[in-house]
Amino acid sequence: MEKMINSAYTPPLDLIRRPRRNRQSAAIRDLVRENRVHAADLIQPIFVKDGSGAPEPVGSMPGIERVGLKQLLAEVTQLATLGIRAVALFPSIDPALKDARGKYAVSEKNWFFGVIRKLKAEVPDILVVADVALDPYTTHGHDGVLDSAGDVANDETVHILTHYATQLAAAGTDIVAPSDMMDGRIGAIRDELDREGFTQTSILAYAVKFASAYYGPFRDAVGSSKGKGVPTLDKRTYQLDPANLREALLEARLDEDQGADILMVKPAGLYLDVISAVKAGTLLPVAAYQVSGEYAQIHAAAKAGWLDLEKARDESLLAIKRAGGDIILTYFARDVARSLIKAG
């Protein structure tokens, strides 16, 4: 015979543990929350262009623009009032100034150094992070110079990058961030910085940077992509294979041994396992870069009405924190800082 279900009375289960007790109100959820994202954890990446013309929107990144000096100063000043402590600057270089060797990078005339100088003079408390790689300056969009076989020449590239890093430091950059994935560049840059007297300039190493499809919108923004939107550049001889965790840990260890101050994993959202493994293997702060494609993806789905923008954004950042990211580079930094203030 079938058992009758009497919905009028259900005797309580004999449970010692009822995890839902800790979730029953906003107050207790706040009390037991294990991870939080603070404005001070976030670094806002900003695309900078020469001159003071009107800002240019980046099509694949809603809300993101390439800005000239005047707007940059205004934006950074505002970020500081929101509690953001650092910005990562990426120059968008006029194609007429690019060549196969990216020579403009280390030219005394490079306008980017002047922008950093003025920014540090105007908003000294904000930390300036500057990428160290040649891709904004090369016609082919690779992060270094090419050898006769068309591959990126490691040691020659490192040599150029050490000069570029020193010039960035001289302009007032607080943190240089080598993003090129050449072998030995952290040690070479540390040596050169120290030799030139920049012992207090930090190195944020893009220690674990995967050859990812998610850099497409960024390459639009700095103009390092040939095809619009879709990354046509193949950087697999220097960026990591997305399949490899052990190799990622090896890269992290090498950069730590060579003197990196902070280790970064990039992209972030698809590599949470890597973030947590890197975190477990180091005592250095760990950063994670929520890249342009991660940002674009959330925006696109929200625009279609398929995801709630703010909830998806906040969840994506919280996941990175939970995985072990102490510092997060995210294009959402300003919006998040604003909504944290609003929430009180």
251 binding ligand PBG? (CB under 6 A): no
Q: Which two tokens mark 69?
A: 């000096």
334 binding ligand PBG? (CB under 6 A): no
291 binding ligand PBG? (CB under 6 A): yes
Spell out the SS3 assignment of 134-147: CCCCECCCCCCCEC
Decide whether 135 or 251 has the Cβ nearer to ligand PBG.
Answer: 135
Q: Which two tokens mark 214?
A: 């998610």
Active site residue: 209, 235, 279, 321, which one? 209
What backbone phi and psi angles, to 5 degrees, belong to 9?
A: -140, 120
Decide whether 291 or 341 has the Cβ nearer to ligand PBG.
Answer: 291
Mention every residue, 6+ apart, whose C-beta is less than 8 A from residue 165. 132, 176, 178, 189, 192, 193
* Contact pick of 41, 50, 75, 131 for ligand PBG (by CB under 6 A): 131
DSSP one-letter code for 126: S
101 binding ligand PBG? (CB under 6 A): no
292 binding ligand PBG? (CB under 6 A): yes
220 binding ligand PBG? (CB under 6 A): no
Strand bridging mode 86-92 / 175-178: unpaired
Distance CA 157, CA 160 (A): 5
Q: Is 266 a catalytic residue?
A: yes
Active site residue: 49, 98, 235, 266, which one? 266
The stretch among 11-19, 35-43, 127-135, 166-174 that binds ligand PBG (CB under 6 A) is 127-135
* Contact pick of 98, 219, 279, 313 for ligand PBG (by CB under 6 A): 219
With contact defined as beta carbons under 8 Å apart, do 227 and 303 qualify?
no
With contact defined as beta carbons under 8 Å apart, do 260 and 282 qualify?
no
**Shortest spacing between CB 343 and ligand PBG, in angstroms:** 26
Distance CA 144, CA 159 (A): 10
Residue numbers annotated as active site? 209, 266
Where do contacts with ligand PBG occur on this chain (CB under 6 A)? Answer: 131, 133, 135, 143, 179-180, 215, 218-219, 235, 291-292
